[in-house]
Amino acid sequence: MGRSAVVCAALGVWWWATVRLVWQGIGCGDWGCLAPALGVVVVITLALVAGSAFALERAGVRPGRRVALVAAGALVVFRVAGDALPSWTSTLAHALAAGAAFAGAGGVAAFCTEPEVARRWKVVAALGLVALVPLAVALSWARFGG
């Protein structure tokens, strides 16, 4: 789990920096370029997920493909849950948050795909992950009103 978390954290900071550079490079201020900009972000994200399978395998995290796919699913949940958190203006905080989210997703993915972990603990981890979404919605509703 530790190796998976470290590899995913590094990939998370890499993803953040790449997306930030691309977003600034596109530098649009109107809605007309939103679709191409988001398309580039999606391509970068998919390439990173594919590359993460290779990086995880090279780091000795097996099976790399399965861990990468589970981590991608966990990242979606973390992204939804992260919307309930306050935002920061610091770019360093954004980079650290991306690294932490990717590290958490990598750790959860390695745990959930480890054959030696009992099935009940995998179910508990999956349910805990899924429970983040309604918890985030409730927190957001309490913060910003309904």
Place of tokens 């957001």: 140
Q: How far apart are CA 120 and CA 58, in angstroms?
A: 29
Task: Give the global pTM.
Answer: 0.83
User: pLDDT tens digits, residue range 93-104?
Assistant: 889 989 999 999
Nearest C-alpha neighbor of 14 from the set 41, 48, 40, 54? 48
Domain positions in the chain are: 1-89
- The pLDDT value recorded for residue 55 is 92
- The pLDDT value recorded for residue 133 is 87
- The pLDDT value recorded for residue 81 is 85
- The pLDDT value recorded for residue 30 is 67
pLDDT < 50 regions, the chain: none
Identity of the residue numbered 144: F
